[in-house]
Structure 1
Amino acid sequence: MKPSFTSSLVISTYNWPEALSLVLKSVNNQKILPDEIIIADDGSSDETKDVIEMFKGKLKSPLIHVWHKDEGFRKSVILNKAIAIAKGDYIIQADGDCILHPLFVKDHLSLAEASVYLYGSRVNIQKHYLKTLFENKKIRFGVFSKGIKKRTRTIRIPLLSFLYKKSTKFSKKYRGCNTSFFRKDFIAVNGYNEDFKGWGREDSELALRLHNFGIKARRLRYKGILYHIYHNEKSKDRLEINNEIEQNTITNKVTWCKNGIESYLNEE
């Protein structure tokens, strides 16, 4: 049963159409679909656009492509742009290298709650398995599947998920590739901080501001499962600067970032 509120699934991507194709295939396999799917594209080439166009005819929910010019890693910016145009009351966020369990969307919606954000973990698909993964276009995994690690995270037992309660504390287990929140809570803290350039801390800093604002966290365990496809690590040349931004949020209990989603909302 779908909830009374509407939802948007926002998937960030950058120049990996082969992976995005599997992700969208897994979206098409959801038991409950979101009301819309938005691809937040951080400057990919036309190959990614071609994949998205192909899936527009397959998915039962609207598929929207939000793109901007490639000027380096600007994930915060493209996610703000995507969520600014989102029509859903509730945002479910995943990455374009994460294959969704068939009940991923349903699980997030089932525990959605005002003034609470959800976060789940990820099962890792290993490097040696990538050739098989892409050749077979595999999107289904279980605890005994080949090519994965952290395999206990594939176990879905909904009753056990209720052992994990709401918390006022930020968890280091938080991952932006598996999270969800009410759009109004995201807007209340001005979304992602666009001062973040390059990889690192943009997701955790958002969660910290949500906590500072009074939003609680709830861990999705034994529900909300996804599978992260191995890739080489992104450059961490901006990590020290990004760490300083995050530390300022912690020290000064920042709730609002200066450069966030607000400017795109004013364009409406």
Structure 2
Amino acid sequence: MPRVLLIEDDASIQRFVEFALEEMPLDLLIAGSVQEALGLLAQGPVDLILTDLMLPGESGIDLLEHLRQHPEVAGAARAVVFSAGLTVPIQAQLQALGVWRMLSKPISVMDLIACVEEAVGLTSATEDDTNAGKAPSETLSPAEVAAVQAHFNGDTAFFLLYRGTCVTQFAKDIVTGDQAAATLDLMGLRRLGHSLKTVLQTLGEAAASQQGKALELAAEQADGHTSLLYWTELKASLQALMQRLQPR
């Protein structure tokens, strides 16, 4: 059975990948950092390495550099970068590092599945989209309906399941953000903004996603005052989203 190693520190994005690939005949390993990933690679070969770029400690670039210098670590595994930061210079750098494919966040379920299937040599089974077009158990906004089509292959049940896990995670994200804000940990705020902009966009929450992006950019520019302001705004949006979506 093919083995896929996901290197991603954001719990919500981990779950998105888990849900997307759960019906595929493969073993999915998950690491939250480069060091965890190297530890898993030391335990046995994998067929696909799917990595984010912005990670705690060493980055995805650092991992790819290490694998290029020590090819025996990755073996025959293909490397795919899964990131929201694929600028033109970054893409050129990744190509030079021998990356097999680059996927931009947020991604559709079908695009992710197709990439994994091709990478590990699986043939996709033809299935009817039984959830596509079904009436949801609750009324979705036009933006959420668009998100279901763009990222969840029209599967409303999948969207609702994923959204529920994200709402649970938002409470933890708020604690993480408050801790980073209290110590003016700009790298922590940057990582949080980077992750939340993707998760929120995947859920069809465009305005809150833009707040995440603004936080990421302010923290990247080492603007502590503006970063704290943007975190306050993003935190309020997360709290409002949690209140709106909590079970009645």
TM score, norm. by length of structure 1: 0.27
Greater fraction of residues in strand: 1
Larger relative CO (CA 8 A, sep 6+): 1 or 2? 1
TM score, norm. by length of structure 2: 0.28
Answer with 1 or 2: which has the greater Rg. Answer: 2
Greater fraction of residues in helix: 2
